Structure 1
Amino acid sequence: MKGSVGLSFLLFLVIILGCEGQPEFTQLASGLSFRYVDQQEGNKPRVGDIMKVQMSHFLGDSLIFETKEGGIFINPITGAPPNLSEALKMCGTGDSVQIQMSLGKYGRMIQMPMSPKMDTSQIVTWNMRVDEVDNESTILARMRSEQLEKDEELIQEYIVNNNLETTRTDEGLHYVTLQEGNGQFPKLGDKVSVNYTLTRLDGTVLDTSREDVARANNQYSDRRTYVPYEFEIGTQGIIEGWNLGVPKFSKGGRGKLIVPSVFGYGVQGKGAEVPPNTVLVFDIELVDIK
């Protein structure tokens, strides 16, 4: 239910403050007010670190923002406005804190449109708990590994439900060769032409280079030309899964490529049709190698 995380955290703060007495706010050089609610003396961020936080923002008693389940990651040194960065750098693993600022400062910080009728002197209170502080590359590698495990479970279910026999690459992609090609496999730097149809695991067609498939699935648009997609193996302009998976097919070959989300559109997703952490399925035909 919306507000449950923020409200439960607010209740936690009320209990702590009620039991132990309300600590004083410290006025920071940035102009923000800051206080520890529960200080655990955990490791504080250094250059190269990111922190995982849970937070809720209140204007008076009204909840105006809260993080989704799982929290968010922030680089407190390079990924936050300078005034907020000052406060975040004071937070360590396990700390619960409050940050206060005027509504005017809050609006400028998050680039929120402000009506002239708004009382910008009202106080916005951030309730924040720091779950983790660690090197960014370490956290991202762990998250990638954890997501790959989740994706593998979904892929295995898909394989069973569709009676497939796949080959799994060392990276974690799966592929099936349905029609052998001429034995010429593309390598790094080769330009290839690929016909494809992209679906989700539930079979929903999201995109295709084939006009007949587009028409059959109500995807046809007269504003595009349906021809094989051309790209260079190893280029940064495509998803990682294509650079890893397309070379498993030889010229003229056809098959199915199942791409874990970490090699697809990842945690960002791609619009409404590809939510974050979506496993992608491609029907592939390697038309040509140049």
Structure 2
Amino acid sequence: MMKKNLMFLAFAALGLASCNGGFKKGNGGLLYDIHADKGGAKVKEGDFISLNLIAKTDGDSVLMSTYEQGRPILTLLQKPQTTGDIFAGVKLLAEGDSATIKTEIDSIYKKGTRRPPIKGKYIVYTIKVEKVIPKGTMTDTAFNSRIQAYMKVQTDIMKKQEPVKIKKYIDDNKIVGTTTASGLFYTITKPGVGDKPAVGDTAEVFYTAKYLTGKIFETNVKDIAQKNKTFNPMQQYKAIRIPVGVKGVIPGWDEGLMLLNKGSKATFVIPSNLAYGEQGYQIIPPFTPLVFDVELVSIIHPDPNAKKIVPPAQMTLQQLQEQAKQQQAKK
């Protein structure tokens, strides 16, 4: 998991001015500018590191920011994959150091490897090394114990900060709404009419997903995607169909959708225990509350005359045996 987190850095970009003034040259076309040098021991392969970074395109469009996500990247420093890649750049730093590191896109992708869809010549990272736990001569057991102890402290901090962050978001945006018994906060921005979806119904929904910072990380609304510069021509921007109340989505959605009438627009502020919890999911860090702007376009009720099919996993042993006899008789 740690390796995957840092490998993702090789696909993020941070644009700078075209000139390289102030940058020093490293191997493989690597350019770097160290902003703060605390004079500590440099990071070595195998060390545990906590990194904050911001990533942008050459057009200055932010692709990734750990500050916006509210959590640094926690990983083991891997061996450089190619000369002059981001791993080599991080090895120039120590705990507390910060730098801008530029790598040439074409030089870090081997022949036959698909180049990421990033315009410009460079992938450039602005990095702050928050914490280093050196592997040194420690045994794996001792090393892992130190990492787990550090991560537990960070986890406890995040857990305590979450309700404070949610309250601040609601207060700062002057949102008037309701908090349910589970902790879901919602506000109806446009009332709908008619029935509300019930368990077993299917809801057709437009949505925009954001962090508490306001950063949009996902939407199926075409205009918003274009304005946010996240438009993907391969994606179909239309209402998605969600089975309601059957745990097909995060708990905050299951509960929230059943509070809305057809045609309603609403904002959900969902605490992490009703979202992706202490594990997180892909780009969503652990203990991350999320904001969803949703529109309930329509409600599809199940057909009462439809033939009910019992999933194989829920069949009794007797049913499975009877099914096998019937199939054998047809042969």
Q: 1:126 aligns with which of 141, 152, 158?
A: 141
Name the CA distance, whole Å, in 1 between partners of 2:48 and 2:222.
44
Q: Which residue of 2 aligns with 1:53?
A: none
Matches within 5 A, 1:117-196: 124-127=139-142, 147=159, 150-196=161-207
Q: CA deviation at 1:240?
A: 1.5
Matches within 5 A, 1:1-290: 64=46, 124-127=139-142, 147=159, 150-272=161-283, 274-290=284-300
Q: CA deviation at 1:277?
A: 1.5
Q: CA deviation at 1:271?
A: 2.4
The amino acid that maps onto 2:192 is: G
Name the CA distance, whole Å, in 2 between partners of 1:171 and 1:258.
12
Q: Secondary structure at the match of 2:258?
A: helix
Q: CA deviation at 1:179?
A: 0.9
Name the CA distance, whole Å, in 2 between partners of 1:256 and 1:283.
4
Q: CA deviation at 1:239?
A: 1.3
Q: TM-score, normalised by structure 2?
A: 0.44
Name the CA distance, whole Å, in 2 between partners of 1:230 and 1:224.
15
Q: Secondary structure at the match of 1:126?
A: helix
Cα deviation 1:240-281 (Å, max 9, x = unaligned) = 111011111111011101111111122222323x22221110
Contiguous gaps of at least 5 residues in structure 1: 1-61, 69-121, 131-142
Q: Which residue of 2 aligns with 1:101?
A: none
Name the CA distance, whole Å, in 2 between partners of 1:252 and 1:212.
19
The amino acid that maps onto 1:199 is: K
Name the CA distance, whole Å, in 1 between partners of 2:218 and 2:185.
20
Cα deviation 1:13-47 (Å, max 9, x = unaligned) = xxxxxxxxxxxxxxxxxxxxxxxxxxxxxxxxxxx
Name the CA distance, whole Å, in 1 between partners of 2:211 and 2:286.
12
Name the CA distance, whole Å, in 2 between partners of 1:64 and 1:213.
42
The 1:125–1:184 alpha-carbon spacing in structure 2 relative to 1, beyond 3 Å, is closer
Q: CA deviation at 1:235?
A: 2.8
The amino acid that maps onto 1:164 is: I
The 1:242–1:124 alpha-carbon spacing in structure 2 relative to 1, beyond 3 Å, is same
Q: Which residue of 2 aligns with 1:85?
A: none
Name the CA distance, whole Å, in 2 between partners of 1:123 and 1:207.
42
The 1:209–1:129 alpha-carbon spacing in structure 2 relative to 1, beyond 3 Å, is closer
Higher share of residues assigned strand: 1
Q: Which runs of 4+ in 1 moved over 3 A?
A: 62-68, 122-125
Q: Which residue of 1 aligns with 2:118?
A: none
Q: Secondary structure at the match of 2:163?
A: helix
Cα deviation 1:90-131 (Å, max 9, x = unaligned) = xxxxxxxxxxxxxxxxxxxxxxxxxxxxxxxx994522769x
Q: CA deviation at 1:209?
A: 1.1
The 1:64–1:158 alpha-carbon spacing in structure 2 relative to 1, beyond 3 Å, is same
Cα deviation 1:192-226 (Å, max 9, x = unaligned) = 10110111111111111110010000110011100
Q: How many residues align?
A: 162
Name the CA distance, whole Å, in 2 between partners of 1:185 and 1:66.
50
Q: Secondary structure at the match of 1:285?
A: strand
Name the CA distance, whole Å, in 2 between partners of 1:129 and 1:198.
36
Name the CA distance, whole Å, in 1 between partners of 2:229 and 2:46.
39
Q: CA deviation at 1:186?
A: 0.9
Name the CA distance, whole Å, in 2 between partners of 1:125 and 1:254.
52
Contiguous gaps of at least 5 residues in structure 2: 1-43, 51-136, 147-154, 301-331
The amino acid that maps onto 1:235 is: V
Name the CA distance, whole Å, in 1 between partners of 2:45 and 2:280.
27
Identity across aligned pairs (percent)? 30
The 1:129–1:211 alpha-carbon spacing in structure 2 relative to 1, beyond 3 Å, is closer
Name the CA distance, whole Å, in 2 between partners of 1:285 and 1:263.
19
